[in-house]
Structure 1
Amino acid sequence: MTGDRSGAPAPPPGGTGNGPAVSRQEFDALFDRVRTWGRWTPADRGAWNRVTPEHVRRATALVRSGTAVPLGRAWNTTPGPDNSRPALHYMSDLGDLEPPEPATHKDFIAVDYHGKAVSHLDALSHAAYRGQLYDGRAARECIDAGGARFGAVSALGPLVTKGVLLDLPAVLGCDWLEPGRAVHAEDLVSAERALGVTIGEGDAVLLRSGSVRRRREVGVWDPGTASAGCHVDAVPLLAERGIALLGGDGDSDVRPSPVDGVHSPVHALALVAMGVPLLDNLDLEALSVAAAETGRYAFLLVVAPLDIPGGTGSPVDPVAVL
């Protein structure tokens, strides 16, 4: 077990803090190193262009038991340190106004999903760095009050590919990574080796820190202040492997940020430099159990965002099929 039961982050296991500080100059050099601008058409599908029908066929061959594991969190309408903008849900028709048979029951839902509480997909229009979106498009020219005209979630469509679960607590022998624990490139390689998987081109990489279990057992904290996630030094490895999607039970970034003046550096590298959409705030606990029971950490992954013209992302409930 790691950490105490007070809810406050404790010293991270397997390391100290979020790793070495990175200067803005070093970060900008890394940004340019992993950038893939001008590589694909259509550009606003970014790295999802890597996934071909052959990738899909190979991914379906991973299905053995046919067990489907949903990866989305429950709709969260409760305010808290990790949910400053709670989702809405109320009944709009209770079937009690003597309508013609059959009576109907209807409800209304709404959500400001970018944040720390709702499982969602970040499209390429979600983040800009130095005033630019992916492919060098000027953010101010592409996004206004009507939405995004480049990099919208509606450009992505569904993704069916091989998913790889990197279950760091399982590898390190702990229940969760404490908030503030950075995941470095060597951690990813060690996890591959320990779990018997290899990240390949077109894959979706899901990083489990155990934050959902920690929240359940310890209590709620503000993940915007402290969260386990990738250090920027892990990104070149993911770029070299040619991933199509990065996700996790946090938002992929370690916090506090190791880069001065850049609050979400992995977002900038993935979305803006590499064109890799992100899955945030997943619940990977059931998948962790299923993967451990079967000894298989690679699976078919299906992600189907809502078709929202101009949207910067979408709530999602991805499904892993083992």
Structure 2
Amino acid sequence: MTARDFRALYERLRRESARSVVDRSRGALCHVTPERVVAAVAEVRLGRTVSLAAPIETVPGPDDPEPAVHVMTGPDPDALGADGLHFATDRFAMNVHGDADSHLDALCHVVLDGELYGGVPASRVTPDGARALSVASAADGIVGRGVLLDIPRLRGVPWLEPGDQVTSDDLTAAEAAQGVRVGPGDLLFVRVGHRLRRTELGPWNAATARAGLHPAAAGFLAERKVAVLGGDGNNDTAPSTVQGISFPVHVLAIHAMGIPLMDYLQFEDLVPVCAETGRWSFLCAVAPLRLPGATGSPVNPIAVL
């Protein structure tokens, strides 16, 4: 996609979003109305819960040179066998926007031409935290109807190879094959098989090579009024197919349409349940940490089937 074509797509999606979003501070989360949350509860049939998050990495790897740090701070080893009351304590630190751990991108994460989503000045992001569009907009959680579209299943392969792209036609074909349709306010999850490939072949430098959505597939998100997009990769293909824009899907989803993204989830536990039941929609609950001013958060989305 040329830079000119990308800009035209960006401007069109930005205009469409401005017409459909009623609260710019929440972006596409406005599509998750109370009525749609109530309707999503009807998706529960088995009473079974499945995590869509991967275990947090604490060992360096080619896709995670700065892994999370988990340190046990207590009790003192000498006190473990002593009488009396003691507590086990620990401390955790994480590079939220890495290429291995499951996380949510807030609307303040993407800066383009000196602006955040909705024309908010980028200066609102300060060294002390974001003063607008932070992860605090989802402080009460995101609950709604989740839909999983399995693109490797559609193509008859275990995973998409790095550099491959998911098109709008792939998304609509997956809907037809799985007997499901993405609708307004849905939390859309697109599987490219990144996690399975990583498990089978080992980690690689995902910053330079990964499967993801073609930028034009953002039109599908706008048409269906998707509230959240989640993937088992970064959602963006690498290398980028757009001249001068490294993360075009991030720009289109977050900056143009106000759609929060969830990157590096895992669907390998969910796919067998959906395949067994023949149902690819479910109630989904996402609870980011309450981190005032943060550009994102580690996250553990839960599918309830």
Same fold, judged at TM 0.5 (above)? yes
Matching residue of 1:303: 286
Matching residue of 2:72: 91
1:100 positional shift: 7.4
1:195-243 residue CA offsets vs partner (Å, 9 max, x unmatched)? 1110100001101111111111112111111111100111111101100
Matching residue of 1:101: 84
Matching residue of 1:155: 137
Report whether the alignment pairs 1:52 with 2:60. Answer: no
**C-alpha distance in 2 between matches for 1:168 and 1:185:** 11
Matching residue of 1:81: 62
**C-alpha distance in 2 between matches for 1:60 and 1:309:** 29
Give the letter aligned to residue 144 of structure 1. Answer: T
1:178-200 residue CA offsets vs partner (Å, 9 max, x unmatched)? 11110011000100000111010
Matching residue of 1:66: 47
**Structure 2 counterpart SS, 1:37:** helix
**C-alpha distance in 1 between matches for 2:65 and 2:18:** 35
Report whether the alignment pairs 1:278 with 2:261. Answer: yes
Report whether the alignment pairs 1:27 with 2:6. Answer: yes
**Structure 2 counterpart SS, 1:125:** coil
1:95 positional shift: 4.9
1:181-196 superposed matches below 5 A: 181-196=164-179
**Structure 2 counterpart SS, 1:124:** coil
Structure 1 unaligned blocks of 5 or more? 1-21
The alignment's TM-score, normalised by the length of structure 2, stands at 0.95
Q: Are the counterparts in 2 of residues 181 and 229 from structure 1 also a CA contact under 8 Å?
A: yes
Q: Are the counterparts in 2 of residues 40 and 49 from structure 1 also a CA contact under 8 Å?
A: yes
Matching residue of 1:143: 125
Structure 2 unaligned blocks of 5 or more? none
**C-alpha distance in 2 between matches for 1:202 and 1:84:** 36
**C-alpha distance in 1 between matches for 2:104 and 2:228:** 10
**C-alpha distance in 2 between matches for 1:146 and 1:38:** 32
The alignment's TM-score, normalised by the length of structure 1, stands at 0.90
RMSD of the TM alignment (CA)?
1.3
Matching residue of 1:16: none
Matching residue of 2:184: 201
Give the letter aligned to residue 302 of structure 1. Answer: A
**C-alpha distance in 1 between matches for 2:135 and 2:93:** 18
1:102 positional shift: 2.1
**C-alpha distance in 1 between matches for 2:221 and 2:23:** 22
Percent identical: 46
1:39-88 residue CA offsets vs partner (Å, 9 max, x unmatched)? 54542211101111111111110000011000111110111111021100
Matching residue of 2:163: 180
Matching residue of 2:194: 211
**Structure 2 counterpart SS, 1:114:** coil
Matching residue of 1:6: none
Q: Are the counterparts in 2 of residues 71 and 283 from structure 1 also a CA contact under 8 Å?
A: yes
